[in-house]
Amino acid sequence: MSVRHVALFYGLAWTAVKRIDKRYLRRELGPIDLDGVRVIAMDEFAIHYIAARILVAAMSNASTSISGATVRASLERLNFDMGGLQMGYAQQQHTALRFLDLGVVSEDERLIY
């Protein structure tokens, strides 16, 4: 379940749930040794792919004339499932997903985090 969904479920601020999550990760993982790490990179392909899938779904569900207003209205009705990863918009919530998966690999190809 995403941080946003946990916050909505328990009626908490997103930032409060994120702080709790960070404390948990620090406690479970301990300090992370970044010795030997020269580059940290993020693969944005998945992000763009998901954004494109959501846009196509919203445009498909929009009325016959596609405009910014009709796509926005369609997004606000859309609940989108990307293979178990649930995303949705609402009238006051225009961020479908707040999630980042980060991997750190050392020079000797050892997975650090």
What tokens appear for 45 in the block?
């392909």
Q: Is residue 94 part of a domain?
A: yes
pLDDT single digits (tens) 65-78: 888 888 888 888 88
The count of domains in the chain is 1
Residue 1 lies in a domain: no
Distance CA(10)–CA(46), nearest Å, equals 29
The region that residue 102 occupies, defined by phi over 0 for left and psi between -120 and 50 for alpha, beta otherwise, is: beta
**Using CA atoms, how far apart are residues 111 and 113, in angstroms rounded to an integer?**
6
Range of the domain at 95: 42-99
What pTM was computed for the model?
0.43
Tell me whether residue 14 is in a domain: no
pLDDT digits (tens, 9 = 90+) for 11-67: 888 889 888 988 888 888 888 777 877 776 666 666 677 778 888 888 888 877 888
